[in-house]
Structure 1
């Protein structure tokens, strides 16, 4: 069974897996699917067309917008910024949102910004404060603005 703080606002039509913890002032919209054994920290928002795998940690202040796909064993640091609209304008909406995909085992550092439509590869690491403007290959470590590869991790 999931553990949900009483101040969290969870739509009845969302799915939350066994063992997941949802903390204070989290908002989860109708249709969102969250796996088991996740930790969704305080002051986070998850829109309806979001899929989150198992064993995912989402630290405080993270907003996941429609189209976002998070695979298993991902870590998302505090205040990491996900986007889904490449040309945002007030009251002007795209035909489809460009979600972000974060592959299995990847880590996103605090305050990193991820632009729409990118994929973070398996076991990649995005450094704190990085601005990611294009796909990140698996096992790559990226830092800076714009983010650039500074090294590769081994797969063992």
Structure 2
């Protein structure tokens, strides 16, 4: 399986770019959020892909419990499934990014020095997000 599609999420693996692209189509209920991210992780594991571009610009309604689930349940499962660091570029609407930056309950960007099994960066435009993922891919290739 290299793709997944529902009424709320499309996920596609692009082998030529070594990139998993997830596009949330609308706001979601917590069970949809969890199913969607489970599908993202399943495809990533199957394709051995650690570079993700997740477009959340249309996904609304994320609350503190969703963020808690992501940080405490979902992301801790990523490393055991992939075996190495995952790089996640979140593509956000400017007002969502501003809200995330102002919310102390939402972790700010992750840094390699934090020893987390994932790195997350937030972007409002796709080109810088893709450039960051390409840089991470090149750095990862050099380190191998």
Same fold (TM over 0.5): no
Q: Give the structure with the higher percent strand.
A: 1
Give the TM-score category using the shorter length: under 0.3
The structure showing larger relative contact order (alpha-carbon pairs under 8 Å, at least 6 residues apart) is 2
Taking structure 1 as the reference length, the TM-score comes to 0.26
Q: Give the structure with the higher percent helix.
A: 2
